Amino acid sequence: MEQLPSTDLTRPESTGTALISTSRALGLPFVDTNEHALDAKLRLTLPSGVRADFVDGGLLVLWSGPCIAVLTEAGFARWIRFARQAIPAAGYDDPAGTIRYAHSQASRFKPDVQGRFQLADRLRFAVGIDRDVTIVGAGSRLELWNPATYGADLVEHRANLAFHQDQYDLLGEDV
């Protein structure tokens, strides 16, 4: 009989600290995983470590996963530049319509002084976020996940990453 992994292996590994970004201007990635809950008015509070990155606001975009990507203005512009190059090359029937759809589904937000902002219902419902939210640092963006959805494939990702970590020191490069 196949032994199923324990639920401990599929839970997000939160450090309980704020997501570390330090300075997106330096090109440092968004990292870490945190559990949060929407307040009574269905607002999300950004972790203190990333608030400076979104002081002027940002954009929320449905992302694969399914999750909601939280992008800075520059991050959204970078995503659209990439999409404008990649989508026509993919051979879709209506590349302009796909780009238009990408813009139409984005939602702007601007946090208040406490780092709170409203999640658009259409985005929240699309990924199944009710009250609890897992906030994941994903390099160029933050991702907002339904906690029941995030973690379903972490065992596979951890195994893939472990394989490459085991090979890392074999490069023979001096650190």
Residue 119 CA to residue 111 CA, distance in Å, equals: 11
Q: What is the mean pLDDT of residues 67-73?
A: 96
Q: What is the mean pLDDT of residues 101-115?
A: 95
Q: What is the mean pLDDT of residues 71-80?
A: 94
Report the chain's mean pLDDT, rounded to a whole number: 83
Coil/strand/helix, residue 100: helix
Residue pair 41/49 in contact by the 8 Å Cβ criterion: no
pLDDT above 90: percentage of residues in the chain: 58
Residue pair 68/127 in contact by the 8 Å Cβ criterion: yes
pLDDT over 90 (residue 142) = yes
pLDDT over 80 (residue 98) = yes
Residue 123 CA to residue 117 CA, distance in Å, equals: 13
Residue 163 CA to residue 133 CA, distance in Å, equals: 30
Residue 133 CA to residue 145 CA, distance in Å, equals: 6
Q: What is the mean pLDDT of residues 60-71?
A: 94
Task: Classify domain 28-167 at the CATH superfamily level.
Answer: Transcriptional regulator MraZ domain (3.40.1550.20)
Q: What is the mean pLDDT of residues 18-32?
A: 60
Supply the pLDDT for residue 27. 62
Domain ranges of the chain: 28-167
